Structure 1
Amino acid sequence: MMTFLTLVFILIFINITMILTSLYNTNKSKSTSNKSLGDSSVSKIYPLDISTSDYKKAV
């Protein structure tokens, strides 16, 4: 029973460290990506005109 609990606590500790590392890296990458978004130019978005489009017959 003691061996089982030891293994469970070790796995829980590893899981917590992996989660914290992942959260730290995610927050770090968000702060760098926000800086790069401010420098990029805004692209134009054109509306789709599906209702009036003509379809050509396939050859």
Structure 2
Amino acid sequence: MVTLPLTLVLALIVWLLVRRSGLEPSHAVVCVLFGFYLARSSVAPPIDGTVRDLLEAISRLRL
């Protein structure tokens, strides 16, 4: 089984969006800044818990 850090996967998705889908680098920077400030807010723990639950459910799927 191969595991990748979620940060690496998200960085790859952003890179692909910038390269292939016309996402402007300035828009990507705004998204990163939004994520940075969102992580410091009171909604960060529920978001983190939801993402962890989703990733755990996905990892249990048998394809």
- What is the TM-score when the length of structure 2 is the normalising length? 0.33
Q: Larger Rg: 1 or 2?
A: 1
* Highest RCO, 1 vs 2 (Cα 8 Å, sep ≥ 6): 2
- What is the TM-score when the length of structure 1 is the normalising length? 0.35
